[in-house]
Amino acid sequence: MCDTMVALGNSTADGRVLFAKNSDRQPNECHVMIRVPRRKYPKGSMLKCTYIEIEQAEETYEVLLLKPYWIWGAEMGCNEYGLNIGNEAVFTKEPHGRESLIGMDMLRIALERCKTSREAVETLVQLLNKYGQGGNCGHEKPFTYHNSFLIADRSSAWVLETAGIYWAALQVKDIYSISNRLSIGSQFDLAHPQLVSHAIEKGWCKGREDFDFARCYSNPLITKFSGSWDRQSCSSEMLKQSKGSITIKTMMDILRSHTPRYDKKPYQRSSVSSVCMHGGFVYGDQTTGSYIASLGDPIDTYWVTGSSAPCLSLFKPLWLIDDEHMTFSEDNTDKAVSYWKRQEELHRCILEQKISVSDYKRDRDQLEKSLMKEVQSINFDTTDSNQLSDIMTYALNEERRLQDYYLDQAKSSQPVLKGNLYFNYYWKKMNSKFRSQD
C-alpha cells in the first residue's frame, strides 16, 4: 500500500517540480536508503533481479533507492538526471503471473537506464511486454499484485498503470496523485494495443465509447478494502487546495495526514485510510519510509525520513554529492537496516506510551523548521558541496541526539499499549518479532 503525488512547476510556489511518496509495507520490513554509483558492464552481462535474470545494460546511471531491505528493486527513488519514480500495488481482474519482474524491479531498472519521464514509460512498457510481472512482494506473508507508476523529471510527469500485461499511460498536466487503485479512466495518451478489445472480449464494456480503464480492469472488492479511495481523495484535494503555491511543506503535510477518526486516538488504532498509514488491523500496512523531491536547476534537493511513520519522523535534506553520510551502499545494507531500526524503536516506544508524543513532536518540529529555514537561505548558485555536507551532517547528529534523549526516557517506563484487543495483540506480536531481530 502506498501513495505517490507530483506537482509540476506550473502548480508550485517556486516553479520547481515536486514529487513525494509514502511507502507502506509490513511493519517489521526495514526500509533502507541505498545509493548506487554509475557503472559499466561488459557486453552480454546478466542482471539478477529479485526473482529472474535479464540482460544488463552496458552502462547504468547513479541512483538513490528507497527500498525494502530484502528486495533488489525499490519502492521509490531517483537518478543523477533528476528522474523520479514511485510505484503502487494495484488490484485487477487480470491473473497474477509467474515469478518474473516485480514492479519494484522495473522501477529500479528504469531509473538505472533512463533520463526522462517519457523514456521511463517506454522502458517500463518494454520490460512488461518482454518479461511480464509477477512474484511475491510480501515480507512476512505472501502478497502479490500488479503495479502503477508515477514518473517525474525536472519538467514533466507521466502516470503508467498496469493490469497483467495490459497498460495505459497519461501525461500529467499540473498535479496528480496515485494510490492502490487504477485511476486512469476513459482518457489516456498511450495504451496497450489490445487494451480496449480485451475488455470487450471479457464483457467488461460494450465498446470504445463506454470503455473506462479503471472501471473495466479493477478488482473492486480488494481495491475497496485497500482504503485507497480515501487516501487518493485526501492527497488530491490537498494538492488542489494549494495548487499554484505548493511547497515542500505542503508535501510533508500530505504525507503526514490522518483521517479525523484516527486523530481522535492517535497511536491507539490502525488507519489504512490515512495517507500516513498505521498498522494494527487484519489487513493494511504501515508507512515505513517517506520521500520528497524538489527538482530543478542548479541542483535537486531531497527530503527523506529513512524511517517509518512520517508523523513522527524527521524529514532531513539530502543532496547527491560526494562524501555525504546519509545514504548507504548496497554492501552496507546491514548498517542501513540499523539506522532504520533506531527510529523504529522510538516509534514502538510511543505506541507503548513510554514517551510523551507531544513533547517529542514539539522538539522534532523545532529541529525540522530550523533545517527548512537553513535550506531556504542557501544560494545554490554560489554554495559549495562542503556547506551542503555540513547541513546533512548536522541533521543526522541532531536526529541522533533527539533519539538518544527520548529513548533514554523510555528505559524507565513500563509498556502500556492502548486500543482494542486486536490492536494490542497485533503490536505485541510485531514488537516481539522486531526486538528479537536485534
Pairing of the two strands 146-152 and 166-171: unpaired
With beta carbons less than 8 A apart as the criterion, state whether 423 and 280 touch: yes
Which pLDDT value is given to residue 367? Answer: 98
Mean pLDDT, the chain, whole residue set: 97
Among 164, 177, 175, residue whose Cα is nearest residue 213:
164
Q: Would the pLDDT of 389 be above 70?
A: yes
Rounded CA separation 430/374 (Å): 38
Residue 421 three-state SS: helix
Which pLDDT value is given to residue 97? Answer: 87
Which pLDDT value is given to residue 141? Answer: 86
* The CATH homologous superfamily of the domain defined by 2-410: Penicillin V Acylase; Chain A (3.60.60.10)
Confidence of residue 282 (pLDDT cuts 50, 70, 90): confident
Which pLDDT value is given to residue 437? Answer: 79
Rounded CA separation 334/5 (Å): 30
- The number of residues in the chain equals 438
3-state DSSP of 257-325:
CCCHHHHHCCCCCCECCCCCCECCCCCCCEEEEEEEEEECCCCCEEEECCCCCCCCCCCEEECCCCCCC
| Cα-Cα-Cα-Cα dihedral sign, residues 407, 413, 419, 421 | positive
Hey, which residues are catalytic here?
Answer: 2
Which pLDDT value is given to residue 360? Answer: 98
Which pLDDT value is given to residue 10? Answer: 98
Percent of the chain with pLDDT over 70: 100
Among 310, 326, 304, residue whose Cα is nearest residue 396:
326
| pLDDT single digits (tens) 131-185 | 999 999 999 888 999 999 999 999 999 999 999 999 999 999 999 999 999 999 9
Which pLDDT value is given to residue 438? Answer: 63
Rounded CA separation 409/156 (Å): 47
Interacting residues of 387 by C-beta distance below 8 A, sequence separation 6+: 378
What is the rounded average pLDDT of the residues 75-94? 98
Q: Which residues pair with 54 in a beta bridge?
A: 47
Percent of the chain with pLDDT over 90: 97
Rounded CA separation 236/238 (Å): 6
What is the rounded average pLDDT of the residues 231-254? 98
Which pLDDT value is given to residue 1? Answer: 79
Among 257, 343, 406, residue whose Cα is nearest residue 30:
343
Neighbours of 201 (CB within 10 A): 9
| pLDDT single digits (tens) 335-378 | 999 999 999 999 999 999 999 999 999 999 999 999 999 999 99
- 181's grid cell: 487503485
- 340's grid cell: 532504520
Which pLDDT value is given to residue 284? Answer: 77
Which pLDDT value is given to residue 417? Answer: 96
